[in-house]
Amino acid sequence: MTDTVPPRVGVVVLTQGTRPDDLARGIRSVLAQQDVELDVVCVGNGWVPTGLPDAVRALALPENLGIPAGRNRGVPLVTGEYLFFLDDDASIPDPRFLSRAIALLRADPSIGLLQPRVTDPTGAAAPTRWIPRIRKGAATESGAVFSVWEGAVLMPRAVFTATGGWAEPFFYAHEGIELAWRVWDQGLRTWYAGNLEANHPVIQPTRHADYYRLNARNRVWLARRNLPAVLVPVYAGSWLAIQLVRFRSDRTALRAWLAGFREGWRSDPGERRPISARTVWRMSLAGRPPIV
């Protein structure tokens, strides 16, 4: 970094306490970061964090509030111009990751959120879902994106505040899409940095019992919370059509997904903050109109 004063980063590590070895690895990778000042909190989602290094404070939530809410609870406890969110099964192998990522943000102020390339630490092939774009291309290729893999995310604190934070009602799934859209709505871009790396084991997201239901419900909520009214049925309808085709031979998954889709229309998604028509146009010009 060229600045004489290292940038200060507030780090929120989220855990349920079920992966102690992974949590320890992730925290070590944060504390190893060079050329930055750190303020780190470990949020226990329904768990009392124990055995933490002295440099890491603990926040124990009495119950599991869900992934977005857990991250949000940690933000007021840390200071810094930048915020870095790390899940307990993720880590950052490069001790200059944060300083390099911040240098990228400072060199290009149009970037409001950064997600690194994700690799499995054992060398297993990384799934393409970790590349958050329709035309996947090479994992090392950087560019603007419209959703993020949420396990390791860096952004200026002011940008995060303006988004309204992670979508707490979602509990799990698609909160990274909403956050990305709300970054775009500030006239900024969400950026996939293929030249920076985070580690995460290859695990199937369907391991979560409610994966299909929450995936569908949150698709509808995402539209209802964030899109101009005319695009809400278009976005939700396009995903309904996609899943009817995708799950045509998996009736169990389809039933669960349709149940979540109905729930998304019948239940309260929380605060509605539609993105502007200008944002829809910018996203469309950048290659991803918010209709699918």
pLDDT tens figures, 53-81: 999 999 999 999 999 999 999 999 999 99
Same domain for 212 and 97, yes or no, is: no
Same domain for 179 and 62, yes or no, is: yes
Q: Is residue 276 part of a domain?
A: yes
Number of domains in the chain: 2
Same domain for 139 and 242, yes or no, is: no
pLDDT at 203 (0 to 100): 81
Same domain for 121 and 262, yes or no, is: no
Which residues fall within 8 angstroms of residue 104, CB to CB, at 6 or more apart? 111, 114, 191, 193, 196
**Domain end marker among 155, 170, 203:** 203
pLDDT at 292 (0 to 100): 83
Average pLDDT, the chain: 95
Q: Is residue 290 part of a domain?
A: no
Give the DSSP letter of residue 91: B
**Domain end marker among 170, 203, 236:** 203
Tens digit of each residue's pLDDT (9 = 90 or more) over 218-238: 999 999 999 999 999 999 999
Compute the distance between CA of residue 270 and CA of residue 280 in angstroms, rounded to an integer: 21
138: pLDDT strictly greater than 70: yes
pLDDT at 205 (0 to 100): 67
Same domain for 169 and 222, yes or no, is: no
247 falls in which pLDDT band (50, 70, 90)? very high
275: pLDDT strictly greater than 60: yes
Q: Is residue 93 part of a domain?
A: yes
Same domain for 51 and 111, yes or no, is: yes
3: pLDDT strictly greater than 60: no
Mean pLDDT (whole number) for 8-37: 97
Q: Where are the alpha helices (DSSP H) in 75-174?
A: 97-107, 157-163
Same domain for 46 and 161, yes or no, is: yes
Mean pLDDT (whole number) for 83-102: 98
Q: Is the alpha carbon torsion for 40, 41, 42, 48 positive or negative?
A: positive
Beta strands in 47-188 (DSSP E): 56-61, 82-87, 111-119, 143-145, 152-156
Compute the distance between CA of residue 180 and CA of residue 133 in angstroms, rounded to an integer: 12
Mean pLDDT (whole number) for 9-18: 97
Strands 143-145 and 189-199: antiparallel
Domain hosting residue 256, numbered range: 208-285
21 falls in which pLDDT band (50, 70, 90)? very high
pTM, 2 dp: 0.95
Tens digit of each residue's pLDDT (9 = 90 or more) over 174-231: 999 999 999 999 999 999 999 999 999 998 765 555 899 999 999 999 999 999 999 9
Tens digit of each residue's pLDDT (9 = 90 or more) over 140-162: 999 999 999 999 999 999 999 99
**Domain end marker among 203, 227, 249:** 203
pLDDT at 134 (0 to 100): 86
Q: Is residue 86 part of a domain?
A: yes
H helix or E strand, kind and range, residue 30: helix 20-31
Same domain for 114 and 130, yes or no, is: yes
Same domain for 229 and 136, yes or no, is: no
Same domain for 58 and 179, yes or no, is: yes
Same domain for 29 and 151, yes or no, is: yes
pLDDT at 4 (0 to 100): 78
